[in-house]
Structure 1
Amino acid sequence: MHFNAGLPTDALLLAAGATENTNSLVSFAWIMAAALLAPLVSYMLGYRLPSVALLLIFGMIIGPSVLDLAAEDEGIEMLKELGVGALFLLAGFEIQISTLKTKEAGTALSTWIICALACGVGAYFLVDNVPGAIVVALALTSTALGTLTPMLKQDRILGTKVGNSVMIHGAIGEVAPITAMALLLGTRSTLTTMIILLFFIIIAVAVAIMPAAIASAIPWVKTAFISGAGSTNQTILRLIILILAILMAVTAVFELDIVLGAFAAGIILNRIIPDEFHRRLEHRLDVVFYSMLIPVFFVVSGMSISWDTIANNPWKVLGIPALILVTRGLPVFLRENVAHTGSDIETIRERLQVGLYSATGLPIIVAVTTLAVNSKIMEPENASIFVSGGALTVALFPFLASLVGGKKQPEKKDEESSAAETKDL
């Protein structure tokens, strides 16, 4: 018996619900389930394990190496890239440009250079080639500022002496490796790369001054933006996301790391948004980005971790966090103890916190090892060991830092304040 008499073929296809994005949607559903479960489990554990670490763990569990419930196809990869952009935009937004001109910033830069050079020389004797030594040096000396920012917020460390110091070391440990990676590991000549970076800076400056220039030349545009800022039009947030999209697109076209564009977008916003609006805007950005894009990035990053690699090479994987602690965290800690860095940090406990936070790295490790694998500089298995070890630093070092500093649970009044601000949106 036939029930489709008289129905056009396209109607039958529509009724069947066929879509080429089915796998992406199923993966996305599992990813968001992991994203929701992580903070609930973190709360259940008394915040002893940060939700970011749980996002990575749950990502590995639902990923191809364990349960194989979700996969990173083109659609999910795009969401991950947007999550990276959102994460580093917020990190850049937290950076005060004035702090990067201080003695502490100069000390942080010199500390990173010394660490990177020492690691590079040591790695050269192991891998016996310059590109491989550069990859190892950059992977071992980066700091995951974007990854640390939500943890510092959760622990209420931002704005303290420790938080300010971590932000400075994080900014140096994020931007310096990206720049070095572009200059030393790119397929172009160093001079060409420097010219491209100069063009990027020019475009970023143009993007920064464009909104004010347009508002000055066409006054009604400013009025329209203000009028639509709090409505369903959300003009201010759309402008921010446009700035992020432009700078990420520019870095992609120039074959630079998109983290550079996202970080620049955050710094630009910090400069062009009046100080009195920072807190309210930051909260709105948190609502937009932390609800989906940023947790997607962490879960998908966890999905790329191979459980088989960890099981077959446990000591190598565990050795990576130890190496990073020695090559990145220890020098920062020692520099704070033996020299006046300008951080005004007085206690050993606080200096140890800064060292542990500074040794937390993942995004740059992923970026530099991916580039190394694509360039045949590093074997995929070794890259997976580095990424797995980097994920362990995210799970372990901030947790240890919170124990050293005496981690506090979020206060009830803070939760009520956050709920009230959310309602105001």
Structure 2
Amino acid sequence: MLFIATILIIILSTKLAGDLSVRLGQPSVLGKLLVGIIIGPAVLGWVDNDNLIETMAEIGVLLLMFIAGLETDIKELNRTRNSSVAVGVGGIILPLLGGYFAGLAFGLDSQQSLFIGLLLSATSVSITVQTLKDLGRLGSRESTTILGAAVVDDVLVVIMLAFMMSFAGGEDAIALVIGKKFLFFAAIALLGWKVVPWVMKKLSPLKVSESLISAALIVCFFFSYLAEEMGVAGIIGAFAAGVALSTTKYKEEVEHKVEPIAYAIFVPVFFVSIGLNVSFAGLADQIWLIVVMTVIAVITKLVGGTVGARLTGFDKKSALGIGSGMVSRGEVALIIASTGLTAELLSQEYFTAMVLVIILTTLIAPVLLKVFFGDANAESEKKEETASS
């Protein structure tokens, strides 16, 4: 019964916090993230981050990215590929350098400093996706560029992590690691093109309840599992599954049916789980490290993404919005941090501080997106009201 009470607290608190956030003129996701800190161990201690919560949170983020893939226009994704590459690369170079030199300035050795730079280069767009959805911008050219850049970012950061771990003796041969990444993307391209439509055609007519959405979830989770097995983040697999299904005739029905499953329970648990990782223990000793690293994390990713977008034809405000969409480090950086701790690339002394930096960037991203994309959303709503009247 304790677990049932935990779920009750999570669902009620996220819905109320999200509503309050919207009433205060902010994206609902900001309130949901903050309430995770409040009800978690850092403040009230009502909810602990146990294995079951972590599992539900993982399902939540996979469904969130699956929905993002469903709402992605594959033609637009292809048109923005140059921008995605430029934004992805720009969003890696500056954080990598900034994190490395900041680490050295705080007295860390070269290996730990380089790992922190790599950690700050990571991007997680799961929070960005929800914010863009709140703002009515999911599916726009800017949104598609952000999603494409996140894929580029993920691949490059994972490959660089493989290099670091290989030199530290904690990973397979570099050629094998890189080969697995290329094999994964080749596999999902082929599966998405030929196999996914066939699977949906065969499974959706089964004489059982909700066979269509079950078939779609099978595709989503299989792609996510395949991604993890090949050393790529599972959210990339879920996003690819959504993109594959977005080109089929089942797109609208799948989207209509998967959203209630995701947003009723699994996605709220995911938002809360981020706040559950916050701890204020020993914070005073590393406050300046956290502040400086957070500022560097935000500015370098914002500038790197903005420059990449500007160089490929976006106007200033759209470019800043794209840069903002790359600021959140989210679960991808948390996974990299945990991997670095296990491989002794990052000491326990600095692990907690970097987790707080990751969470702070995740809280800041929705605010920046609201600044750069909120006005456009308001203007769109005003035009709709004028047209209807």
Quickly name the TM-score band, shorter chain normalised.
Answer: 0.7 to 0.9
1:114 to 76, 90, 93: 93
Counterparts of 2:212 and 2:41, CA distance in 1: 39
The question of 1:28 aligning with 2:13 is answered: no
Task: Label 1:287 to 1:372 Cα distance change in 2 as closer, same or farther (>3 A).
Answer: same
Task: Label 1:335 to 1:252 Cα distance change in 2 as closer, same or farther (>3 A).
Answer: closer
Task: Label 1:25 to 1:182 Cα distance change in 2 as closer, same or farther (>3 A).
Answer: farther
The question of 1:192 aligning with 2:172 is answered: no
CA RMSD of aligned residues (A): 3.3
Task: Label 1:187 to 1:174 Cα distance change in 2 as closer, same or farther (>3 A).
Answer: closer
The question of 1:39 aligning with 2:24 is answered: no
User: Secondary structure, in 3 states, of the residue corresponding to 1:192?
Assistant: helix
User: Secondary structure, in 3 states, of the residue corresponding to 1:292?
Assistant: helix
Indicate if the aligned counterparts of 2:197 and 2:245 stay in contact, CA closer than 8 A: no
Task: Label 1:244 to 1:380 Cα distance change in 2 as closer, same or farther (>3 A).
Answer: farther
Indicate if the aligned counterparts of 2:40 and 2:48 stay in contact, CA closer than 8 A: yes
The question of 1:64 aligning with 2:41 is answered: yes
What is the CA-CA distance between 1:146 and the residue it aligns to? 1.8
Q: 1:86 is matched by which residue type in structure 2?
A: L
| Aligned position for 2:67 | 90
Task: Label 1:51 to 1:382 Cα distance change in 2 as closer, same or farther (>3 A).
Answer: farther
Write out per-residue CA displacement over residues 351-400 of structure 1, whole angstroms, 9 at most, x where no aligned residue.
32222222232222211111112222223352222222222223223313
Indicate if the aligned counterparts of 1:328 and 1:359 stay in contact, CA closer than 8 A: yes
Which structure's CA Rg is the greater one? 1
Counterparts of 1:311 and 1:30, CA distance in 2: 30
Counterparts of 2:265 and 2:87, CA distance in 1: 33
| Aligned position for 1:290 | 263
2:27 to 38, 46, 50: 50
Indicate if the aligned counterparts of 2:59 and 2:266 stay in contact, CA closer than 8 A: yes
Indicate if the aligned counterparts of 1:365 and 1:390 stay in contact, CA closer than 8 A: yes
Counterparts of 2:384 and 2:16, CA distance in 1: 22
User: Secondary structure, in 3 states, of the residue corresponding to 2:48?
Assistant: coil
User: Secondary structure, in 3 states, of the residue corresponding to 1:401?
Assistant: helix
Write out per-residue CA displacement over residues 73-120 of structure 1, whole angstroms, 9 at most, x where no aligned residue.
221121112112112222333444443564323322442453365347
The question of 1:148 aligning with 2:116 is answered: no
| Aligned position for 2:213 | 237
Indicate if the aligned counterparts of 1:111 and 1:335 stay in contact, CA closer than 8 A: yes
Size of the aligned set, in residue pairs, is 374
Counterparts of 2:214 and 2:243, CA distance in 1: 17
The question of 1:163 aligning with 2:147 is answered: no
Task: Label 1:107 to 1:297 Cα distance change in 2 as closer, same or farther (>3 A).
Answer: same
1:281 to 247, 250, 254: 254
Counterparts of 2:259 and 2:22, CA distance in 1: 19
Task: Label 1:304 to 1:153 Cα distance change in 2 as closer, same or farther (>3 A).
Answer: same
Q: 1:49 is matched by which residue type in structure 2?
A: Q
User: Secondary structure, in 3 states, of the residue corresponding to 1:67?
Assistant: coil
1:320-339 → structure 2 map (5 Å cutoff): 320-337=293-310, 339=311
What is the CA-CA distance between 1:305 and the residue it aligns to? 0.9
What is the CA-CA distance between 1:238 and the residue it aligns to? 0.6
Task: Label 1:311 to 1:27 Cα distance change in 2 as closer, same or farther (>3 A).
Answer: farther
Write out per-residue CA displacement over residues 334-353 of structure 1, whole angstroms, 9 at most, x where no aligned residue.
3445x3x13xx33x333322
What is the CA-CA distance between 1:197 and the residue it aligns to? 3.2
Gaps of 5+ in 2: none
Indicate if the aligned counterparts of 1:309 and 1:385 stay in contact, CA closer than 8 A: no
TM-score, with structure 1 as normaliser: 0.76
Counterparts of 1:413 and 1:290, CA distance in 2: 28
What is the CA-CA distance between 1:306 and the residue it aligns to? 1.0
Counterparts of 1:189 and 1:280, CA distance in 2: 44
| Aligned position for 1:103 | 82
Range moving further from structure 2, 254-263 or 49-58: 254-263
Q: 1:32 is matched by which residue type in structure 2?
A: I
Counterparts of 2:99 and 2:290, CA distance in 1: 20
| Aligned position for 1:422 | none
Q: 2:174 is matched by which residue type in structure 1?
A: T
TM-score, with structure 2 as normaliser: 0.82
Write out per-residue CA displacement over residues 160-194 of structure 1, whole angstroms, 9 at most, x where no aligned residue.
44434433433433443244435543622212223
User: Secondary structure, in 3 states, of the residue corresponding to 1:291?
Assistant: helix
Counterparts of 2:233 and 2:47, CA distance in 1: 26
Q: 1:128 is matched by which residue type in structure 2?
A: D
| Aligned position for 1:264 | 240
| Aligned position for 2:281 | 308
1:139 to 119, 132, 142: 119
Q: 2:239 is matched by which residue type in structure 1?
A: F
| Aligned position for 1:359 | 327
| Aligned position for 2:52 | 75
What is the CA-CA distance between 1:323 and the residue it aligns to? 0.6
User: Secondary structure, in 3 states, of the residue corresponding to 2:204?
Assistant: helix
The question of 1:385 aligning with 2:353 is answered: yes
Gaps of 5+ in 1: 1-21, 216-220, 416-425
